[in-house]
Amino acid sequence: MLARLGGCLAPNGAMPRDLRATFSKEKTEFRKAIETMIGWNPERIIVAHGRWYESHAVSELKLAFRWLLT
């Protein structure tokens, strides 16, 4: 139930809201780090405490961090 309230469950999960708040002061630096990961163009990713994605990793990263990238 907490994970659902935090907004971090598949299929449209994102970083939990409380964890996002910890990056609020360093949002620019955090965005650059995420853009760097996306720039690596990974095929697969394993999301901590979540599922692994065998394909479409870039799309999944963009979805997970849409709150930061928009």
Domain boundaries, the chain: 2-69
Residue-wise pLDDT for 19-38, tens only, equals: 767 777 888 999 999 999 99
Residues with Cβ within 8 Å of 20's Cβ and at least 6 positions away in sequence, in order, are 67, 68
Distance of alpha carbon 2 from alpha carbon 35, whole angstroms: 28
Q: Which helix (H) or strand (E) holds 2?
A: helix 2-6
What is the percent of the chain with per-residue pLDDT over 70, rounded to a whole number?
76
> Judging by beta carbons within 10 Å of its beta carbon (0-12, 13-18, 19+), is residue 62 exposed, middle or buried?
middle
pLDDT, averaged across the chain = 82
Residue-wise pLDDT for 35-49, tens only, equals: 999 999 999 998 776
Residue 47's closest CA among 33, 35, 34, 64?
Answer: 64
